[in-house]
Structures are given as structure tokens and as C-alpha cells.
Amino acid sequence: MKGAALLVGSLIEHEVKYIFGLPGDTSLDFYEALYDMQDELCHVLATDERNAAYMADAYARITNKPGVCEGPSGGGASYIIPGLYEANYSSLPMVAINTDIPVTGIGKGVLTEMDQVHFFEDASKWSTIVTQAGRIPEIMRNAFREATTGKPGAVHLSFPMDVLGCEVAREANVFKKLYTAIPAVRTCPSAEEVNEALKIIMESEAPFVVAGGGIHLSQAYEALEEFAIITGSLVGTSITGKGSIDEEHPLSAGVVGENGGSPTANVMLCEADLVLFIGTQTGSVVTSHWKTPPDDGRRKIIQADIDPHEIGRNYNVDCGLIGDARSVLEALVKGLGMHMKKDVERNSRLNKTIAAWKEAELSEIGVSRSVHPLTVVKTCKKLLPEDVILVADAGTPTPYFASFYPSKAGRMFLSPRAFGSLGYAIPGAVGAHKARPSSRIVSLTGDGSVLVSMAELASIAREQIPAVVILFHNNEYGWIKTHLKYRKEQKYLSVDLPEVKYDAAAESLGLRSYVAETDEEFEETLKMALKTDDPTFIDAHTMKLHEIAPEKLPWSIH
């Protein structure tokens, strides 16, 4: 058999169902093998390799299985790298494959030649070139193990075309452990760390948990809720951690920080006498640039993370717990038993304060000549099914939906927060649907983002994905223009976008298309979109962010 067939067989062995990508000159043997085994492994065509990686990213976020993407050499390799950066720095398991020029052509100036291994080193946990066809199964097992163990991440594999075209004997069936999902191995904190943390927790009167994406990666939903109930802790999340706990739970504080966090929740976080950071990198967004809470010694801090390098990176911690989030929480719950003094009533009252703030904001939208972003949230909250998966681009949609749209426990809200790249939401819908075809997918995008990834609407149509794509159409880079208004004396440069008939473009790419210019029209169009399984695009003409009063924006203008 050829090396390419061995590669495809190895993907199937690792329970890969979908591979996202597009062909090139160096990929012919690989595509021949994909064709021959398409009953077992489905190839999903993307318009470019970056979008293929975003599809794989969304697939990995929902399934906790490695998302697999591929592309040819040269431009294919350079295009795929933004998606790898996002996945790797979001701690998502991903296996990225690039075919390459022949090994015999290295150093000879062959078209599309580049040093793929070094090019991908910073964007991945591991990058390597496969120079012997017989080693393909071994290297594939190493790749999946690397992607799914320890701190998950992206791996990159380069396959020269002569290696893929080489005839090789089928490997003997030997005993082997396969790593097909995360967490492949659960890391547990030491008894000493747990005991130290228990002492601090039992002395606390007002604990507050800040939960990050690690809760999703470790499937720690039940353990987190049990810990919160036993200790009476309020639970806030990062945007990536949104859905770590049901946001309608009495102890949920929703998203915290400067992007989607409520003022009340941030104040409560700062007033806590103990903050537990669990599965979060304590980065600038979730902590409002380390102001919520400040590292001023006025509260105890416990940090739990699977990566020991994260412990104490941004805060002076009183106790560090190295381990998988679920293992950490289960160990703490076991140690606490049912003997903690709980103040659930107090924190439930505080939770109601947050809920009242949200309801007040949603009810005081007022009348405008175009669709208010909060109207989009309010209408979606009213009409969308409970199991909907929201895929949001960076920019206008994220803070509004992070703050005001309640999420059930689980990975129901996807957004690229490691790098905040534009253009994620539309290709992300493809990966999300392949991961969970039973759920309705709603993509939330803006002008800047849709201009980046509009061609991927064709993929949604081709795959007949029952997605609803909602465009926040305000003809500007709203986030940037708003900050220029309040921080740089309205020195606007290259932040206004041309008027485009996005509805016509979407229709030409195969989607049902609607335009909504008022709040009432938006509700009617969303109702129509949800009555059908056809891919649908709603061009919602929304208010310009820089014209909304700063106190009504769901983030801080510093």
C-alpha cells in the first residue's frame, strides 16, 4: 500500500470522522487515498486553509476530540497557521497536516519549498516532517498523544509527496494505546496541595470562583457545581469558560472581566475574600488587565491549572494546584465533604442583583432607526432553542452575547479568544455542525469579519448546514472606532467600511437571505429563518457602536 493510504488508515484508526481542507499539487496521492476510504473518513472542503483550521477548531471545542485539518505546501501551509495559533493557545487538540515537496527536492528551489517544521514551531506543541513512509503509524500515534495529553494543543505534520507515494508494507497489528479525545490522561493534584487549599477554603467567608476553558476541556461541570454549592461560592467565567456552570444557576455570576462582564459581577469578584482561578490563564481580558481582582494582597488566591507554568504567572498565589480541573474539583469536594458553612442565600441575593441588571439593560433599549445589538440578544434569547450553539466572531457580537445571553452548562458558546481573529464564526459553523448535527447553529458576525470569511458561506450551503448567520451590519470596525472616539479624540482612520449588499452576496452563495432594518423586522426574519432547515443569512442593520452611550456598552472604555 502507499504511504498516503497508511496515513488515511491511521486517521481512521484514531476515530477521525471528518477532515477539513482543500487540495493542491502536492496532495494528489493523499486525495486518492481519501477518495478510496471516503466511506470511513469524510473530507469537508473549505475555501482556504485558515478556514479549514477554524472548522477543525470548532469541532474540537464541542467534541473534545482532535480536530483535523489539511492543506498543500507553500501558500497552503502559510494560510493554515492562523488557525493553529488559535487552537494551540486555546489549549485545543488539533492535528494539522500539510503535504510537501518531495524529500529529494529539498534545497533545490522547488516551487512552494519552505521549512514547514520551523515555520510551525511557535504555533504548535509539536511540528515534524515524516521522511519514511513506514513510520507513519508511529508518528501519527505520537501526534495524537501530544495533542491530547498534558495541556492539550495543536500539532503539525509535514508529509512530502514522495513519502505519500511510496509503496510500504502494512504495519503488523500490535497492541497500542490510542489517544482519541481529551483529557486522555487526568492529572491529579498532590495531597499536600489539596490539604493546603482546603484549609484556605474553610477559612473563607466570601469565596469566588473564576472558571476558564479548562472546565470544558476536562468536562468538570458537575464537579464545579457541586463545589460551588458546598462552599457557597459564586462562579464567574472567562468568555472561553462561558457555560462552565448553568448561567441561570443561583450561584452563577456570568462572565467577568472587561469583555462581557457585568459591573456588579466584577465588583463582587473584587470584594471576595478568596478567589479561585480554575482552568484559566488569568489573562488581560478576564481580569480587566489584572484589576478584577487587583493583586493587592487583600484576598487569598488559589490557582488550579493543568499547566504548572500558569500557576502564579500573573498573581501571587497562596496555593497552587497542578492538575486537570475536574480532578482538582473532585479532590476538593471529597475533602470538604458536607461540613462547609454555606452562605448560598447571600450569594443567591447577589446573583439576583446581576440578573436584575441584565433585565434592566435589555428592557431599556429604546427606539432607534436601526437594530440595537441588545435587541439581537433579546430576540435570540426569546426564539432560539435551548440546545443552540452560538459561534461568535470577535467584535460586536462577543461582549453582548457573553454578557446578556444565558448559557446552559456545556460548550454552547464558541469564540476565538486566544488571538481574537476576525472571520471565525462562519467557518466555525461548519465544524460545529459536524460535531453536533442535532443542534441548531447560529453564527454571529460583523462587517469586518464577514468580509474576511464570506466565501465560506458557500461551504455552509454546499454542506446544507441548517445554520443561521446573523450579520451585525454597521459599516465600521465598531470596537476600534469606539475606542478611538473615547481614547484618541475621534482620530478615525480606516475604521469605516463600504456599503455592501451582503444579503445579495449571501443569496448568490446559496443561502436564503433576509434584511432587517428595525427591531421588529429582525424578530420576524429570525422567526422565518428558524421555520426551515435551509442555510439562512440575516443582514441586520445595527446601530453603530461609537454612537451608543459608553455607560451602555458591555465593556469598559479606559
Per-residue confidence of the chain (558 residues) as pLDDT tens digits?
999 999 999 999 999 999 999 999 999 999 999 999 999 999 999 999 999 999 999 999 999 999 999 999 999 999 999 999 999 999 999 999 999 999 999 899 899 999 999 999 999 999 999 999 999 999 999 999 999 999 999 999 999 999 999 998 876 555 577 899 999 999 999 999 999 999 999 999 999 999 999 999 999 999 999 999 999 899 999 999 999 999 999 899 999 999 888 888 999 999 999 999 999 999 999 999 999 999 999 999 999 999 999 999 999 999 999 999 999 999 999 999 855 655 556 566 666 777 776 777 777 676 667 899 999 999 999 999 999 999 999 988 999 999 999 999 999 999 999 998 899 999 999 999 999 999 999 999 999 999 999 999 999 999 999 999 999 999 999 989 999 999 999 999 999 999 999 999 999 999 999 999 999 999 999 999 999 999 999 999 999 988 887 777 766 665
* 298 Cβ contact list (under 8 Å, min separation 6): none
Q: Are 9 and 37 in contact (CB under 8 A)?
A: yes
Q: Are 264 and 235 in contact (CB under 8 A)?
A: no
Residue 545 gets which letter from DSSP?
G
- Smallest Cα–Cα separation from 256: which of 223, 234, 273? 234
Q: Among 3.30.70.1350, 3.40.50.1220, 3.40.50.720, 3.30.930.10, what is the CATH number of 191-350?
A: 3.40.50.1220
User: Cβ–Cβ contacts within 10 Å for residue 499, how many?
Assistant: 8
User: Cβ–Cβ contacts within 10 Å for residue 205, how many?
Assistant: 11
Angle at 508 between CA 421 and CA 461, to 5 degrees: 65
Instruction: Answer whether 0.85 is exceeded by the pTM.
Output: yes
Sheet containing 67-71, strands listed edge to edge, beginning at the edge strand earlier in sequence: 42-45, 18-21, 67-71, 94-100, 154-160, 126-129
Cell of 49: 486553509
Whether 365-552 and 191-350 are alike in CATH topology: the answer is yes
Task: Supply the Cα-derived Rg of the chain in whole angstroms.
Answer: 24
- State which amino acid sits at residue 206: A
> Quick one: fold of 3-165?
Rossmann fold (3.40.50)
Cell 509527496 belongs to 161
- Smallest Cα–Cα separation from 448: which of 494, 404, 388? 494
> Quick one: fold of 365-552?
Rossmann fold (3.40.50)
Measured distance CA(226)–CA(216) in Å, rounded: 16
Helix H or strand E segment including 59: helix 49-63
- Angle, nearest 10°, between helix axes 49-63 and 425-435? 40
Kindly list the domain boundaries of the chain, sorted by start residue. 3-165, 191-350, 365-552
Q: Are 243 and 538 in contact (CB under 8 A)?
A: no
Q: Are 469 and 443 in contact (CB under 8 A)?
A: yes
